Structure 1
Amino acid sequence: MKKYLNLSMFYLVLGLVLGVFYREFTKINGFEGQTVLGAVHSHVLVLGFLFFLIVLLLEKNFKISEVKHFGKWLIFHNVALIYMLSTLVARGILQVTGKDFSGLSHIAGLSHAIFGISLVWFMVILKKSIK
């Protein structure tokens, strides 16, 4: 269970750092307006920090880590989340600097699809652990 607490703390720190990065990066570049960077902070806090706190509670109550392939899911989920967050940060940086980011849309869409697969896989694991 300490692993899930550590993951939660990692995503908390990452979310806070990205929040500060968003504020300072837009200020340094004199950017005013909407950018994807503003959403990264909340994505990390909800999909990383809060999610792994919930996983910790589910582990305590249902022993979800005993379900077959949970370890593979855990790796897959973290890779998918970091991939998705990276595409959001890249798109936000390109928006603030005024560069073209048209090709990034497909990459960002793929990252969201992979993350969606991870969430569905998690629900399957959770269902098996409750049986």
Structure 2
Amino acid sequence: MKRLLNTSLFYAVFGLAAGLFYREFTNVYNFTGWTPLSVLHTHALMLGMFTFLILLLFEKVFHITQHKKFKPFYMIYNIGLLSTLLMLTVRGVTTVLGTDLTSGANAAISGVAGLAHILLTVAIIQLFILLYTIIGNENNLVKSSQKE
């Protein structure tokens, strides 16, 4: 449970810092347009902090971290989310600075962001499989105890 709480706290601090960075960085450069930095903090807070707070509740009720399918989900989800946040940061900073990216650099940023989103998708599918497995087992235990 402590790992889930610590992970949630990490993303909360990251998200709050990202919001501050967005505000100050765009002010320093007098940037008024749209930048991916404007959604960086909400991605960190919602996909990071809130997701792991909700998983903390599932842990309390279902002990999901004890299941063998949890560790792969946890690792893939965090790699995907951290990569997504990194690419939002890179794309946002280059946007604010007005950096002219080569087509290769632009493609690399988009490619890594796409792979990160694929990892998040795979992890979310893994999470639902895990939850269905656990809840299915809970229902089987209830049915078998009612028969006795």
TM category, shorter = over 0.9
Q: Which residue of 1 aligns with 2:96?
A: 96
Moved over 2 A (4+): none
Aligned pairs (5 A) from 1:8-87: 8-87=8-87
TM value normalised by structure 2: 0.84
Q: Which residue of 1 aligns with 2:127?
A: 122
- The size of the alignment, in residue pairs, is 131
Q: Kindly state the Cα deviation for residue 43 of structure 1 after the two structures are TM-superposed.
A: 0.3
Q: Is the 8 A contact 1:12 1:49 kept in 2?
A: yes
**93-102 or 28-37: which moved more?**
93-102
| C-alpha RMSD of matched pairs (Å) | 1.2
Q: Is the 8 A contact 1:36 1:88 kept in 2?
A: yes
Alpha-carbon separation, structure 1, partners of 2:135 and 2:110: 38
Alpha-carbon separation, structure 1, partners of 2:4 and 2:112: 28
Partner amino acid for 2:10? Answer: F
Q: Kindly state the Cα deviation for residue 114 of structure 1 after the two structures are TM-superposed.
A: 1.3
Q: Is the 8 A contact 1:8 1:48 kept in 2?
A: yes
Q: Is the 8 A contact 1:15 1:42 kept in 2?
A: yes
TM value normalised by structure 1: 0.94
**99-108 or 39-48: which moved more?**
99-108
Alpha-carbon separation, structure 2, partners of 1:74 and 1:114: 11
Alpha-carbon separation, structure 1, partners of 2:73 and 2:119: 12
Alpha-carbon separation, structure 1, partners of 2:65 and 2:5: 14
Unaligned ranges ≥5, structure 1? none
Q: Is the 8 A contact 1:63 1:129 kept in 2?
A: no
| 3-state SS of paired residue (1:35) | coil
Q: Which residue of 1 aligns with 2:143?
A: none
